Amino acid sequence: MTNEIGLRQLKVDTSATISNITAQGELGRRIRDMGLVPGTEIQVIGKAPLRDPVAIRLRDFTLTLRSNEADHITVTTAEA
């Protein structure tokens, strides 16, 4: 069974697969240019104390996203 949630809702050390990007225009293009596209597996590796930014690991690199970017990304997790 799977669970679809927003990227910022993931806890540190949790893995998920990107299911949707809702950003349009320049922001959507910038998110996709960073390699964040549906089907990409990611892992949250850190969050700042106020939850902005969030650090994620995808493919072979680490990426830091601001809240306004992360809020447009929906992920699917496997329920335990």
Task: Give per-residue pLDDT as tens, 25-36.
Answer: 999 999 999 999
Mean pLDDT taken over the chain: 91
Q: Who contacts 44 (Cβ-Cβ below 8 Å, separation ≥6)?
A: 7, 10, 11, 12, 13, 14, 54, 55, 56
Show the domains of the chain with their CATH numbers.
2-78 (2.30.30.90)
pLDDT at 78: 76
Q: Give the global pTM.
A: 0.88
CA pseudo-torsion sign 53, 64, 23, 1 = negative
Q: 59-78, pLDDT tens digit by residue?
A: 899 999 999 999 999 999 97
Considering Cα of 68, then 24, then 75, then 43, what sign does the dihedral take?
negative
